[in-house]
Amino acid sequence: MRVIMLGPPGAGKGTQGERIASRYGVPHISSGELFRDEVARQTETGKTLRRYLDAGDLVPDDLVLSLVMDRVLAAEAEGGFVLDGFPRTLPQAQAAAKVARDANMSAQAVLYLEVPAEVLSERLADRGEGRADDTVQVARHRLDVYTEHTKPLVDYYEQRGIIVRIDASPPVDEVSEAIFAVLDRIDD
């Protein structure tokens, strides 16, 4: 099972990604989590990452690829992957697609978690301030960054014929059911 999750911040990618991972027995690879771990270890790379994360800005593509791609390739031995937060830009998607194709492990589906704008702003306003990048102001900025850099991936994956639109506005369990109904059919 090789799945990519796409959707705005607040769509529920993390929650659904975990559930998909446990149902199909594949690793949930969250680029944000990988980066936060690196920050916590206080490495030089972590210090660089921190500036981008705290501001809600994208980490540069070459750095993202160098940190995430090896983990993705290693996941093949674990039955595949659920990618959450990566790819996030067109250059990332193109680079990842090429490497994946060469390794014969292209994604089988891209789940696009769609949330109406008004539901999204409600969810963002409800967010706590536990994470440095979770203030309302930074959350809004992340939404703008998403719209400009990540949303274009919907067209890219649509052209590749692997996008599946999921209405992510119902309660969490309903969204999971909708996702499982799709993935059960491509389970291998």
User: Which member of 23, 71, 123, 131 is catalytic?
Assistant: 131
Contact 5, 84 (CB under 8 A): yes
Which CA distances in Å does 49 have to 34, 38, 90? Answer: 10, 8, 20
CA 59 to CA 68: how far, in whole Å?
A: 12
- Residue closer to ligand ADP, measured from CB, 2 or 142: 142
DSSP 3-state of 113: strand
- Residue closer to ligand ADP, measured from CB, 59 or 75: 59
- Residue closer to ligand ADP, measured from CB, 31 or 176: 31
Contact 98, 104 (CB under 8 A): no
- Residue closer to ligand ADP, measured from CB, 14 or 27: 14
User: Which member of 13, 19, 36, 50 is catalytic?
Assistant: 13
Active site residue 127: yes
Q: How many CA atoms does the CB half-sphere of 58 hold within 13 Å? A: 21
Q: How far is the CB of 52 from ligand ADP (least distance, A)?
A: 5
Active site residue 88: yes
Q: How far is the CB of 146 from ligand ADP (least distance, A)?
A: 8
CA 93 to CA 61: how far, in whole Å?
A: 10
Site residues (vs ligand ADP, CB under 6 A): 9, 13-14, 30-32, 35, 52-53, 56-59, 64, 85-86, 88, 92, 133, 142
User: Which member of 19, 36, 50, 142 is catalytic?
Assistant: 142
The single-letter DSSP state of residue 78 is: G
- Residue closer to ligand ADP, measured from CB, 41 or 185: 41
The single-letter DSSP state of residue 151 is: T
Residues pairing with 110 in the sheet: 4, 163
User: Which member of 23, 71, 127, 140 is catalytic?
Assistant: 127
Contact 68, 86 (CB under 8 A): yes
Q: How far is the CB of 55 from ligand ADP (least distance, A)?
A: 7
Q: How far is the CB of 132 from ligand ADP (least distance, A)?
A: 10
Q: How far is the CB of 87 from ligand ADP (least distance, A)?
A: 6
Active site residue 131: yes
CA 105 to CA 107: how far, in whole Å?
A: 6
- Active-site residue set: 13, 88, 127, 131, 142
